[in-house]
Each structure stands twice: as structure tokens, then as C-alpha cells.
Amino acid sequence: MGRFQRGEAGFRPSVRLRCGGCVVDRRTVVGKLRRNIDRALKAKDVLEVLANRSGVPDLAQRYDIHPSEIQTWKEQLEKRATRELGPRLGRWTGDIQDSDLAAAWNTWRSKNPSVEPELSGSMLQGADVTGADFFQANLCKATLANAGLLRAKMMLADLTGADLSGANLGRTNLCQANLTQAKLRGARFFGANLEGAMLDGTDVTGAHFMATNLDFATLRNLNLTGVSFFKASLTYADLRDANLQEAGLSETNLSGAKLKGADLTGANLSGADLTCAQLSGANLTDADLTATNLTEADFSDAILRGARIERASLVSTILTGADLTGCRIYGISAWALNLSGATQQDLIITREGEPKVTVDNVEVAQFMHLLIDNRKIRSVIDTITSKVVLILGRFTAERIKVLHAVRDELRQRDYVPVVVEFDKPRSQTTDEAITLLARMARFVIADLSDAKSVLQELRAIVPDLPSVPVQPLILASQKSRECSIFFADMVRF
């Protein structure tokens, strides 16, 4: 038996024991016994803690175990449980009503706040988990197609390769979530928060992002054809090389967005804010930029052929090397533009439905429209010496080649051609504007082929402007007696 020795704190067992004639170290025996006890007690101790029947300090004192060991076992068991139960989470819906599923899950999470749920591969197709807490959850390759995830908390969740096709994610918080390679076909993100989310390689065909927060999100090189972003916020979002053909981006906030090389052909950007946006090399052919804010936006080498830029604000906008051919620019506000190397041809400065008036310079366009629209300033035009050549005619498909040839030759000679087409009825204001343009023109070219209304216009211009040369053009087969009489009366022809 062990001997008791007196010490400063009273009697204590001797560390040496005699057993069967052998002397052994008591600490060695206790250590072996404790390790055996540890293995046997782990499950029981942790279950008592989880069931709230005993506290960690009580169990530590009862079994002479350090509290940190019990806490470690508890965490290990919880992680093991999520790994085992995660893939089977979808089976809960068979035993739990959909309305209770999110509540049951949230209750478990509230009791285990330190656990990061391992739910990869979970089958939750069509489940209603409205308001569920999936914060930092691992949902890689999970099936959530057509699931109800309204107002769910999915911040920092890993949804790599997950299937969210047709899911309702309205007002869901997906801040900084990883949605790389996820399937989002037809998913609804109305009012959701995807700030800083990663969507590289996702399939978003038919998805809706109305009023969604996508600030700083990554959507690089995605096919976003026809996707709706109405009133969404995409400030500083990365949309480089994305396909946004026919996309609905009206009233979106794209300030600072990266759209370099993006294809925005036919996209609707009306009312959008593109302040400081980067659109160099982007394709905006036939895009609608009506009433947009393009302040300090970079459109260098961008293609804007046929785009509508009416009533847009262009302050310090960079358009170096951009192609603006055929743009509708009525009502724009242009200040301090950088147009170095830009192609500016056939810019339409009149409203749709009015006779088309085109110019070849954005900055001249504002001045020209001011002359047409402001009667007070018309009194000063007689003092202006310009290089404007007024071209009048009704340019049908057969005569458009003549127009192009004449206009190109004038440009070669450093003239500024201003074309007025007579394919629509004219108002009194339009007639006054044409007369005004004729007054400031160096000379007038009138194509009378297929356009009797041009002859009528000349009757108003020629008698009052004897100093302005007029050169008529007409097919020989169309020369009428009326034309001959008119030419005979006007000896300057």
C-alpha cells in the first residue's frame, strides 16, 4: 500500500506504490486509467452538455477532466454532425413541415453559433426556407432549385456550383457570397443584397435582378443577354467583357462600373448613372442612353453607332477614338468633351418624328440646334462666315448613294454638310429653320429627284437669298415642265 507523507498542506498519497512485490509510479497508473475513462466518457459528457443536463465545469470536476477537453469534444461532435447530416438535410422536409424547416434550422444555429455548417450537396429542391440562417455555410453543389429563400441570410456562404435555378431570393442577403459556376437560370433576386458577390462563370439566363444591390460584385465575361437589372445598383461592379445585349439596365446605378470590352448592343440604359464608368472598347451599337449621366465616363474606342444619347449629360466625357456615326443627340448637354480621333458623322439633332437634320460634330450640334430652336439668336447668323453646305432632298434607297457621294466630296474639301431630308411632313418652325440654315450656308445643293416639296422650299429660299448659290440635282427622266419654268425664271441657275 502507499504510504501517506506529511507535507505543508497536510497528508498526501505517496507517488510510489508497491504492488505484488513491485514498486510502480502512481502517476503512470492514473494516467492510463484517465485515458481509458476519457474515451468512455466523451459521448456521455458531450451529450449531457448538449442536452443542458450538466455544465462543463460540473462534468470536469465530477470526472477530474480539464474543462477545455470537454469543450473540444463538443466542437468535434458538432462538426461531425453537420458533415453527416448536411447531405441529408433535404430529407428533413419529409418529417418537418416547410413552414417549420427554417425555424428548426435557425434554432439549431442559435445554439451553435460557432459552427460553420457543412451542407455541400444538400438536396433542398423546392423547399421553403424563408429567413433561414446560412451565414458562412458551405453549400457547394447544393440543389436549391425552385427553393423559397426569401430574406435568407447567406452572407459569405459558399455556393460554388450550386443549383439555384428558379429560386426566389428576394431580399436575400448574399453579401460576399461565392456563386462561382452556380446555376441561376430564372432566379429572382428582387431587392437582394449581392454586394461583393462572386458570380464568375454563372448561368444567369432569364434571371431578374430588379432593385438588387450588386455593388463591387464580379460578373466578368458572363452571358447576361436580356437580363433585367432595372433600378439595380452596380457601382464599381466588374462587368468586363460581359455580354449585355438587349439587357435591361434602365435607371441603374453604374457609376464607376468596369464595362471595358462589354457588348451592350441594343441595351436599354435610359436614365442610368454612368458617372466615371469605364466603357473603353465597349460595343453600344443601337443602345438607348436617353437621359443618362455620362459625366467623366470613358468611352475611348467604343462603338456607339446608332445609339440614342438624347438629353444625356456629357461633362468631361472621354470619347477619344469612339465611333458616334448616326447617333441621336437631341438635347444633350456637352461640356469639355475629349473627342480626339472620334468619328462624328450623321449626328441627328432633331427629335424623332421631325425632319431629320444631321451634323458632323457633337459640339457644333448644340450650336446648330440653338440656332434652329432659339429665335432670338437667329438675328446674329448673318454675321457668321461658315463652311456649312445645306443639302436638301428626299433620299430614297435609290438616291442615298448620291447623298453619300456628295457628302463625302464636301468633307474632302473641308466643308461641313448639313442634310435635311424631306421624307416627313414639315411644320412652319421647320421651314423657318431651313431658311435659317440656308442663310448661313456657303451654298445649297438641292436634289429634286422624287421630291417636289424641295422645289417648293426653293421658291421660298431663292428669291430672298440672291447671294447664296443653289445647285440643283435631278434625274433627266424626272425633269418636268414645272421645273423648266422655275429654272428659266431664276437666271442664277
Q: What is the DSSP letter of 439?
A: H
Distance CA 176, CA 159 (A): 11
Q: How many residues does the chain have?
A: 493
Which pLDDT score is estimated for 30? 39
332's grid cell: 444633350
Distance CA 262, CA 269 (A): 14
Q: Which residue has the cell 424626272?
A: 478
Distance CA 189, CA 229 (A): 10
Contact 302, 324 (CB under 8 A): no
pTM equals 0.65
Contact 486, 455 (CB under 8 A): yes
Which pLDDT score is estimated for 427? 63
Contact 392, 457 (CB under 8 A): yes
Q: Which strand (E) or helix (H) includes residue 34? A: helix 26-50
Q: Which residues contact 215 (CB under 8 A, 6 or more apart)?
A: 195, 196, 233, 234, 235, 236, 237
Contact 337, 358 (CB under 8 A): no
306's grid cell: 446608332
Contact 149, 174 (CB under 8 A): no
Distance CA 348, CA 419 (A): 10
Say how many CA atoms lie within 13 Å of 157 toward its Cβ.
28
For 185, the 3-state DSSP assignment is coil
Structural domains present in the chain: 41-84 (no CATH), 372-489 (3.40.50.450)
Output phi, psi for 269, to 5 deg. -115, 20
Strands, E assignment, 117-166: none
Low-confidence ranges of the chain (pLDDT < 50): 1-40, 46, 50-51, 82-97, 383, 492-493
Distances (CA, A) of 436 to 358, 375, 378, 394, 461: 15, 10, 7, 19, 9
Which pLDDT score is estimated for 381? 55
316's grid cell: 468631361
- End-to-end Cα separation, the chain, in angstroms: 140
For 302, the 3-state DSSP assignment is coil
Q: Which tens digit of pLDDT belongs to each residue from 67-113?
A: 777 677 666 655 555 444 444 444 444 444 455 678 888 888 888 88
